Amino acid sequence: MPGHRPDRFTKAAASGADVVVLDLEDAVAPEQKASAREHVRSWLETGHPAVVRINGPGTPWFDDDLTAITGQATAIMVPKAEDPAVLASIGAPVIPLIETALGVVRAVEVCAAENVVRPAFGSIDLATQLGVDHRSHTALHHARSALVLAAAATGRAAPIDGVTTALDDPAVLQADLAHAIELGFTGKLCIHPRQVGPVHEACTPTAAEISWAEGVLASVGDGSVGVHNGQMVDRPVILRAQAILARAREETVS
C-alpha cells in the first residue's frame, strides 16, 4: 500500500491479508517521501501492525526511514537487498527483497544475516535488469529456485513470491501461484485486495494433501519407518507430512 495514501491503510488491513506492507519506496514519488514516512509512522504508533518497505541503502531516505519506523514495524522490507552487513545492522526483523542479479548470486549470504525472517522475490526489478519479461516463468526460474535454496540452507522460512501485475485475469494469477508453489514458495506479495483470497487458497494445503500427510504419520505410529499407499515412509517423508499439517494449522488460525 503506498505510504502517501493513508486513506487506503484501513482498507488494506481489512483485506484478509496475513500482513499489510506499507510502501515508502517505488510507489512514492521523491517529493512525497517525507509526508509518506510520517503517515506510516503515525499508523504504526497507533498500534496497527504492518511491514514497511523502506527506501534502499544508498538512497537519501534510507536513514530517515529506519529512524522513523524501527521498533514499530512488524518487519522492515529492504529493497535491492545485496549486502548482508547492511541487513545485520538494522535493529529489527528484516525481509530482504531480492530483486537484483547480485542479490540472487548472494542469496545465501543475504538470508544468513541474523535478523532475516524470510526473503521476498522482486521479480519485476530483476527482470528489468536482466532484460527479460517479468511474466516469464522460464526466464526467472533459476532466480526463484535460488531463493528457495538459500532460505532452506540458512534455516529461514520459505520465500514470498513477487507480484502478479495482471489484475483482471485470474488465470494469470493462478498460473503464477502454481509455478511458485511448485518451486517451494509459500506466500505471495499482493497488489490488490482481490488477489488475497486466491493466494490464501492456493497456499493452503489441499484436502488431498492433508489426508496424505495424516496417513503418512498414522503409518509410522511411534516408529520411524512405515508404508503408506504402497510407498516407503521414512524421516524425510515424515518431515514433509508434518510441514503440510503445520501450514494447514497456520491457515486455520489466520
Identify which of 51, 43, 63, 38 has the alpha carbon closest to the alpha carbon of residue 96: 51
- Dump strand ranges (E) for the chain: 21-23, 51-53, 75-78, 94-98, 120-121, 160-161, 187-188, 226-228, 231-233
> Which pTM does this prediction carry?
0.88
User: Considering the chain, what is the average pLDDT of its residues?
Assistant: 93
Where do the domains of the chain lie? 6-203, 207-253
One of 3.20.20.60, 3.40.50.720, 3.30.70.260, 3.30.499.10 is the CATH number of 6-203, namely 3.20.20.60
* Local confidence band at 254 (pLDDT 50, 70, 90 cut-offs): very low
CA 103/CA 164 separation, integer angstroms: 21
Tell me the per-residue pLDDT of 73-85, one tens digit each, with 9 for 90 and over.
999 999 999 999 9
Tell me the per-residue pLDDT of 3-60, one tens digit each, with 9 for 90 and over.
999 999 999 999 999 999 999 999 999 999 999 999 999 999 999 999 999 999 999 9
